[in-house]
Amino acid sequence: MSPITHSTPARLTASATTKLPRLVLLGLAVAYILAGLFMRDPWKTDDAVGLATMITALREGGASWLWPQVGQLAYAEEGPLITWAGAISMYLFGPWLGDITAGRLPNLLWFTIATSSVWYGTYLVGRRTEAQPLALPFGGEPAARDYGRMLADAALLLLLATVGILQRTHETSVVPANMAWQALSFYGMARMLDRPASGAVTLGFALAASFLTRGWVGALPVMLGALVAFYPRSALWPQRRWLSLAIGVSVALILAWWIPASQGSDYWISNWKTWNINSFSWPDLSAVGRTLRDLPWYLWPTWPLALLAVWRWRGWLYAPHIWLALALAAFAAVELIFLAAPTDAEFIMLAVPCAILGAFSLPTLRRGVVNTLDWFAVMCFSLTVATSWLGWIALHFGWPAQISRNIARQTAGYEPVISWVAFSIALAVTVAWALLVLWRLRSHPAVLWRGTVLSAGGLTATWILLVLLWQPAVDYARSYRDMSSELRTVLEQHRKPGECVRGLSVGSGQRASLLIFDNLTLSYDSKCPLVLQQTSRERLKDGNAAYSDGATELWRGGRRADRHEIFRLLRVNHSQ
């Protein structure tokens, strides 16, 4: 509907759009992404697999650049783009930083693309006439640029405050990259409103990158969302002729990989097609129910604000500040219904559009509601900060006793050692959070971004505390470094020249970890005299594990904190 016939639901004064200091915004974003990204072992499964495909491409070269592999395992899922980025980073920086650290550097790129695209895209649509707040009778409404900047800050902070994306953005997997391309596609569409050529090229690049990152699972919701954004009643309709340029750029980039890839390994391409096809299915009520159960927690606190924005701006539905993000969100949500097994890897595709939509709900809220959201953020994240410290106290000092016993069960054999450097930094972060809360209590700021700063700052503070205080214990519980080192030592003692090691029921995450830590590659050759078997303690106890009889067990091990998973190195006869 025409904006002339509807008064905007936004009500705001100039004081509410006072500029958030750039150093605060930048410092918060840097702290968010750096904490937990480096100086830790790979997490299983996606984190380890992503690193392993990069290492394989760097060491093996050749076809492993076209078809991502984990050693000899054809990892025929998703796409090759993060493998390219990580392998190049390892080649350039690995000699100085080590392969694991170098492989994580592209995460900084994905995070930068995602956050800058959200900020600039929201700013472009937020400063437009359709999004402006109602003019006040005696003046005092904010300038268009100030209003757009405030909305852009809020969108970025809401993205950082989204609970579910926290761990995923720190993984060396396709997930943070795919989120970045969706955000870039939003920016490309927003840019097409005033600079159609550069916006179309950006959109085409983003669409191709989403396909090369995660195949049709990652690309379909972005492509369909971008197509629907050009609905005849939307502001992009007059620029529809430029859509052909975006499609041309996208197709050209995709074919630049697809043509040589499809002419090589039929096995990899066949499995890639199978994975893409099997990822989709007709809606299953149980899967939809699980999604509806998990998604609200994953997208907290943005999803209620996003729904509120759509309702409050319903008379302006086709205005760019609502329609562009809504189109992306709608198809990301629809895809969840038609996926065979939707997980948080797909949930993340709702994070960016919900954060953008959520920002546009803020100018429509009454002051009392905004204050309530502020207090909720203060109470919620003060509790999570306190809980982080309580768990650390229980780990190191045995109090409270029940919490200490629960932690001990998950970290059996772990000997905690206090790092005073980590303790000091954690204490400083806690003080910084307390000062932020004190600022809110004492100054009663009128700025509309105060609640988003509290939410993003509280979640970031909690994450930093978990990384500083808990990372050694988490590494112990989840890392295969020690197990891989033990296996390598045993192989050096028992493997004869030319002998290969076959994996039996070894998961992709475990294969990846062995490759990353000790360059151990498991073969698929059935004639290998050595077999590394992954099984469970229960199956061994019941005698149901393969090779329970007739094979020589050379070694048995695993992660000491895991009470179920177990590995055995066996020497078998070819006849077995």
Mean pLDDT along residues 434-446 = 89
What is the C-alpha separation between 94 and 102, in angstroms, rounded?
5
Q: Which residue has the higher pLDDT, 508 or 223?
A: 223
What is the C-alpha separation between 559 and 561, in angstroms, rounded?
5
What pLDDT is recorded for position 413? Answer: 76
Same domain, 355 and 421: no
pLDDT at residue 371 is higher than 80: yes
What pLDDT is recorded for position 256? Answer: 96
What pLDDT is recorded for position 278? Answer: 94
Domain carrying residue 487:
481-571
pLDDT at residue 542 is higher than 80: no
Q: Quote the percentage of the chain above a pLDDT of 70.
A: 98
Residue that is last in its domain, among 331, 348, 364: 364
For residue 522, being part of any structural domain is answered with yes
Same domain, 315 and 242: yes
Same domain, 162 and 187: yes
What pLDDT is recorded for position 1? Answer: 38
pLDDT tens-place string over residues 183-218: 999 999 999 999 999 999 999 999 999 999 999 999
Q: Quote the percentage of the chain above a pLDDT of 90.
A: 71
* DSSP-assigned letter for residue 289: H
Q: How confident is the model at residue 2 (pLDDT cuts 50, 70, 90)?
A: very low
What pLDDT is recorded for position 548? Answer: 65
Same domain, 411 and 517: no
What is the C-alpha separation between 298 and 318, in angstroms, rounded?
27
For residue 206, being part of any structural domain is answered with yes
Comparing 80-84, 234-238, 298-302, 520-524, the range with the smallest average pLDDT is 520-524
Q: Please, which residues have CB within 8 angstroms of residue 505's CB and are 6 or more apart in sequence?
A: 533, 534, 535, 546
* Helix residue ranges per DSSP H, 341-411: 344-347, 351-361, 367-397, 401-410
Same domain, 228 and 319: yes
Comparing 97-111, 289-303, 470-484, the range with the smallest average pLDDT is 470-484
Same domain, 125 and 242: yes
For residue 249, being part of any structural domain is answered with yes
Cβ atoms 159, 115 nearer than 8 A: yes
Tokens 């939003």 belong to 186
Q: Which residue has the higher pLDDT, 411 or 88?
A: 88
Cα 355–Cα 361–Cα 362 angle in degrees, nearest 5: 95
pLDDT tens-place string over residues 313-324: 999 999 999 999
pLDDT tens-place string over residues 39-48: 899 987 889 9
Residue that is last in its domain, among 340, 364, 388: 364
What pLDDT is recorded for position 485? Answer: 93
Comparing 38-42, 143-147, 201-205, 414-418, the range with the smallest average pLDDT is 414-418
Q: Are strands 530-536 and 501-504 parallel, antiparallel or unpaired?
A: parallel
Comparing 230-244, 256-270, 329-343, the range with the smallest average pLDDT is 256-270
For residue 125, being part of any structural domain is answered with yes
Residue that is last in its domain, among 448, 463, 478: 478
For residue 87, being part of any structural domain is answered with yes
For residue 576, being part of any structural domain is answered with no
Mean pLDDT along residues 376-394 = 94
pLDDT at residue 575 is higher than 60: no
Same domain, 398 and 346: no
Q: How confident is the model at residue 549 (pLDDT cuts 50, 70, 90)?
A: low
User: How many domains does the chain fold into?
Assistant: 3
Same domain, 310 and 196: yes
Q: How confident is the model at residue 6 (pLDDT cuts 50, 70, 90)?
A: low
H or E element in which residue 533 lies: strand 530-536
pLDDT tens-place string over residues 298-315: 999 999 999 999 999 999
What pLDDT is recorded for position 274? Answer: 94
**What Cα–Cα distance (Å) separates residue 516 from each residue in 165, 342, 491?**
25, 28, 16
Same domain, 521 and 465: no
What pLDDT is recorded for position 3? Answer: 39
Same domain, 298 and 424: no
What is the C-alpha separation between 73 and 69, in angstroms, rounded?
6
Same domain, 329 and 405: no
Same domain, 468 and 547: no
Summary mean pLDDT of the chain: 92
